[in-house]
A and B are shown apart, each in its own frame.
Chain A
Amino acid sequence: MADGPVLAIRGVSREFGIKVKTRVLHGVDLQLAHGEFSALIGPSGSGKSTLLNIMGLLDRPTAGEVYINGQPMTHLDDDALTRARSRTLGFVFQFHHLLPAFTALENVMIPAWGERGRADAKLRAAAQALLDEVGLHERTHNRASDLSGGEAQRVAIARALCQNPPLILADEPTGNLDTQTADGVFSLLRRVSRERGTTFLIVTHDDRLAGRCDRIIRLVDGRIVSDDRRGPDAPPQLFLPLG
């Protein structure tokens, strides 16, 4: 594994519109180190989702560069970006976005299956192990549409881990869950990060959840206005004023 940051963005700006330009991000710099468990917070319209899309290689910045494991990404063509997404990034969305017609196991396999084109026994075994890891062994062959919200989000986490990526980007991963289920899902994310050394960046509106992260990055009007790191045992209230 490289010594540098898993992800680095330098001077990233993003404008929308052709005649009337709206600048959403203003020269953002950010680095995420290996194994870091960070929260990205900010009010609605602050540019969190735009920043997440650029870091997730789903969007290209108007200016600036995105590095993953030290490699610049913005010059890559669409297929190369797709491969890079598949191999180095995992996504967890707010509404899990599992494919409803597919079983839990098939959903977990999709990143590797969609990239390689074929699913072999090894991939099936790895996907099964991931489902076991997120505690859904008995749901393996259930269709995604038959799973509860919490179960579906756990399958989505297993899917994000399919290619064992160094970085997982989670957009409001507990935003659609009740408090108890949200706690369970968050604990799972922390455990995965601890056991696998996976870097997490979690976009959230939930200050309580952000307070349980190692680092809180606050974005306002397309600029990072604060970036606070804390030890894993620091009390959450230290970070509450940021919310």
Chain B
Amino acid sequence: MSFEWFVALRYLREGKVQTALILGAVSLGVAVVVFISALISGLNVRLIAKTLGAQAHIIVRPPDLEARLIIDNPSGDPSGHPAGGGAGPLIAARIEKPSQRLQSISGWPEVIAELARLPGVTAISPVVSGSAFALRGAATKSIALRGIEPTSFGRIIGLGEKMLAGRSQIVGAEALVGTELCQSFGLALGDKLRILTATGQADVFTVAGIFDLGSKDLNERMVFIPLRAGQTLFDLAGGVSSIELKVSDVFAAETIAVEAARRSGLTANSWIKENPQLLIALQSQQSSKNVILFFITLTVALGIASVLIVSVVQKSREIGVMRAVGTTRGRILRIFLIQGGLVGFAGSLLGAGLGALLAQSFVRLWRGADGSPMFPVMLSPMLFLLPAALATVVGLLAAVVPARRAARLDPAQVIRYG
């Protein structure tokens, strides 16, 4: 073993109380970092799952309809002045954007095939959707009607897991309805429900499944029917109004959406654009975590530095003797850097374990009425590796000041005066 490691380890072993204090400080710091990170990651995952659980990450739609010039303008001058340059009559003072009617995506099977090749896309499904009314007896409710391919769409929002009764695989004149709508209408599996679109198309569907999307509003408004039935009701024979995508990394959704729009020539919106508040909430949580992390790191660094400075003062005569009998400044410097790095590393291992324990206890102790954890935590290997690496580096950096102080000691002075 090298001299520096031997002396560093011996000093750490000898100064049991100091070593215990410094390890305690690092461990607690790292434990809090691991715990807070696990908690915030868990909350983020839950928030994302709750919010994005019932919607696609990216929705591709046809571009909005634009106003078209319907009067022939042979001069090509957008002002509408007649050819010849003379001051002619003003044709239009205001261009009005046309109302947006339901459009089909032309050549949608090819678009789906193209978009499915985008890296990061895990599921893709065609949808036809619009507003409609659900009628049962004298009761009427406005609904968001979606014509879906149950298999591919099921992969996007995990429909199978959200079914409370019946099945998600619908065919023909079958429909999936939410729990709230069921309660409002007194519906049960096998019951009939009449659906009427704004254009006057109507059909009767049998309730084949009842779902819970985790939101009262969605459960009240959302009704799924087979794609073909949707196409008929919305008068889009063979067409679809949107293509919905799910991606593996939700935070990469906007990048993928931009690429999807580029490749398809259509409009592609990611959840990030459609739910900016959610992104802000997630970023706020991340920022608060970083602030906590910064101050804990600072506290740990100051703790390590102060204990090592005390150690240098206590051992100044010994350092002087080592210097006098032939130990170079560099070796003395390294002795204290090693001590800082070692306590940082060992403390981080203890702290990571403690943090994980704390997180697990938290999950076990605080549970909701349904037995599920109130505070979800997410423990990933990076959650341990990063604080461990950080604590080791912080330990090393914190030891720089005491180590330099030790290396600069004048041996003649400290041997004589301590």
Chain B associates with chain A: yes
Question: Across the two chains, which residue of chain A brings its CB closest to B416?
Answer: A49
> CB distance B321 to A99 under 8 Å?
yes
Q: A110-B326, A112-B326 are in contact. List 11 more A-B contacts (CB 8 A).
A: A53-B412, A58-B324, A78-B329, A79-B329, A82-B326, A82-B327, A87-B326, A91-B324, A93-B415, A102-B10, A114-B331
Contacts of B415 in A (CB 8 A): 58, 93, 97
A99 & B325 in contact (Cβ 8 Å cutoff): no
Residue contact B412 to A83, C-beta cutoff 8 Å: no
The answer on a CB contact under 8 Å between B14 and A101 is yes
Q: Is the CB of A99 within 8 A of B322?
A: yes
Of B6, B13, B325, the residue contacting A85 (CB under 8 A) is B325
Chain B residues, CB < 8 A from A83: 326, 328
Given contacts A97-B415, A102-B10, A117-B4, contact A111 B325 (CB under 8 A): yes
Question: Is A199 located at the chain interface by the 8 A CB criterion?
Answer: no
Decide yes or no whether B146 CB sits under 8 A from chain A. no
Nearest chain B CB to A60 CB, angstrom units: 10
| Alpha-carbon separation in the docked complex, A132 to B107 (Å) | 96
CB neighbours (8 Å) of A119 from chain B are 1, 3, 6
**Contact indicator B3/A117 (Cβ below 8 Å):** yes
When C-beta atoms are compared, the residue in chain B nearest to A82 turns out to be B328
Question: Is there an interface contact between A58 and B412, defined as CB atoms closer than 8 Å?
Answer: yes
Contact A163 B411 (CB under 8 A): no
User: Whole-angstrom distance from the CB of A102 to the nearest CB of chain B?
Assistant: 7
CA distance A199 to B318 in the complex (A): 25
Q: Does B323 contact A (CB under 8 A)?
A: yes
Residues on the B chain within 8 Å of A53, using CB: 412
B2 close to chain A: CB less than 8 A? yes
How far apart sit A99 and B11, CA to CA, in the bound complex (Å)? 10
What residues of chain B lie closer than 8 Å to A49, measured between beta carbons? 416
- Closest-by-CB residue of A relative to B331 is A114
Closest chain A CB from B334 CB (angstroms): 10
A228 within 8 A of B: no
Q: What are 24 A-B interface contacts by the 8 Å CB criterion?
A: A56-B324, A56-B412, A58-B324, A58-B411, A58-B412, A78-B328, A79-B330, A82-B329, A83-B326, A85-B325, A93-B415, A97-B317, A97-B318, A99-B318, A100-B14, A101-B14, A110-B326, A114-B331, A115-B327, A116-B3, A117-B2, A118-B1, A119-B6, A162-B325
Indicate if A159 sits at the interface (CB-CB under 8 A): yes
Q: Which 5 interchain pairs have the tightest Cβ spacing?
A: A86-B326, A114-B327, A101-B14, A58-B412, A111-B325
Q: Is A206 on the interface with B (CB-CB < 8 A)?
A: no
* Shortest distance between the CB of B229 and any CB in chain A (Å): 82
Q: Is the CB of B324 within 8 A of A110?
A: no
Give chain B's interface residues, CB within 8 Å of chain A: 1-4, 6, 10-11, 13-14, 317-318, 321-331, 411-412, 415-416
A114 to B326, CA, bound (A): 6
A152 to B321, CA, bound (A): 14
In the complex, what residues of A have CB within 8 A of residue B2's CB? 117-118
CB distance from B333 to the nearest CB of A (A): 12
A113 at the interface (CB under 8 A from B): yes
A53 and B326 CA atoms in complex are apart in Å by: 14
A78–B322 Cα distance when bound, in Å, is 14
The reply to whether B325 and A117 contact each other, CB–CB distance below 8 Å, is no
In the complex, the answer to whether A85 meets B326 with C-beta atoms within 8 Å is: yes
* Chain B min CB distance to A98 (Å): 8
Complex contact A85–B3 (CB within 8 A): no
Q: Taking CB as reference atom, which chain B residue is nearest A84?
A: B326
Q: Which residue in B3, B328, B411 is a CB contact (below 8 Å) of A113?
A: B3
Contacts of A163 in B (CB 8 A): 326
In the complex, A150→B225 CA distance in Å?
A: 98
The listed residue (B327, B328, B330, B416) touching A110 by CB distance below 8 A is: B327
Nearest chain A CB to B416 CB, angstrom units: 7
A59 sits at the interface (CB 8 A): yes
Provide the bound-state CA to CA distance between A198 and B330, in Å.
30
A243 to B325, CA, bound (A): 30
> Which residues of the partner chain B approach A102 to less than 8 Å between Cβ atoms?
10
CA distance A112 to B326 in the complex (A): 8
Given the complex, which residues of A lie within 8 Å of B318, measured CB to CB? 97, 99-100
Query: CB distance B326 to A117 under 8 Å?
Result: no
CB distance from B415 to the nearest CB of A (A): 6
Assuming the contacts A58-B411, A97-B317, A117-B4, asked whether A110 and B325 have C-beta atoms less than 8 A apart, the reply is yes
